[in-house]
């Protein structure tokens, strides 16, 4: 029986996060998966109809609302070299409904040589499509790949509060396999 996973706390730029930030040290801590290429077309399908994918349902105004994530892990934490963040990133402020500026944080991922090669292959193959980043079993981000990323580094922008991003980045770095 296929499972449907609902995320718990959502925020702008396709990001979601569980309220618990206590993670176990293992390769399932950080994963990159492919999103079904026809994700929007199959959003309402029953999980038993789509083999090899898990259906994630996101809360609030996230887009896409339903994400079909391939069960195959393309990259995991063993492919990461380091993770950093830049607080209050001025290049991408979010404006809320009351026209207040919301500070955004930028998360920077640096891949090891083999991880960078795999990430470049994935982003080259999936230009114009989405990938899923899963942290501790929770759908964290569903970024669209606009062009191949071949430099071994990638970034995400989020409006998660700085304290939470700092904690996530610390936990990720503690779980890296050196």
Would residue 47 count as lying in a domain?
Answer: no
> In this structure, how many other beta carbons lie within 10 angstroms of the beta carbon of residue 92?
14
Query: What's the domain range around 119?
Result: 14-37+73-174
What does the pLDDT look like over 16-25, one tens digit per residue? 333 233 333 4
Q: Contact, 105 vs 155, CB < 8 A? A: no
Would residue 160 count as lying in a domain?
Answer: yes
What does the pLDDT look like over 73-115, one tens digit per residue? 999 999 999 999 998 766 555 555 555 566 788 899 999 999 9
Would residue 60 count as lying in a domain?
Answer: no
Would residue 118 count as lying in a domain?
Answer: yes
Would residue 3 count as lying in a domain?
Answer: no
Query: What are the residues whose beta carbons fall under 8 Å from the beta carbon of 177, sequence distance 6 or more?
Result: 27, 77, 78
* pLDDT value at residue 150: 93
Would residue 84 count as lying in a domain?
Answer: yes
* pLDDT value at residue 75: 95
Residues of the chain with pLDDT under 50: 1, 3, 5-25
**CATH code: domain of residue 79:** 3.30.1360.200
| Number of domains into which the chain is organized | 1
């Amino acid at each position: 029986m296929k499972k449907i996973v609902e995320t718990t706390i959502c925020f702008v730029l396709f990001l979601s996060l569980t309220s618990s930030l206590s993670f176990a040290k293992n390769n399932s801590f950080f994963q990159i998966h492919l999103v079904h290429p026809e994700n929007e077309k199959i959003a309402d399908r029953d999980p038993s109809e789509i083999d090899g994918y898990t259906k994630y349902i996101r809360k609030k105004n996230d887009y896409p609302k339903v994400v079909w994530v391939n069960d195959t892990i393309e990259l995991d934490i063993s492919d990461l070299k380091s993770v950093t963040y830049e607080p209050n990133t001025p290049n991408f402020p979010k404006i809320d409904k009351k026209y207040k500026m919301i500070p955004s944080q930028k998360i920077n991922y640096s891949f090891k040589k083999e991880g960078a090669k795999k990430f470049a292959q994935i982003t080259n193959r999936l230009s114009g499509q989405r990938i899923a980043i899963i942290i501790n079993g929770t759908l964290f981000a569903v970024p669209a790949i606009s062009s191949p990323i071949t430099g071994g580094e990638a970034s995400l922008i989020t409006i998660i509060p700085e304290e939470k991003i700092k904690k996530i980045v610390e936990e990720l770095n503690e779980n890296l396999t050196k």
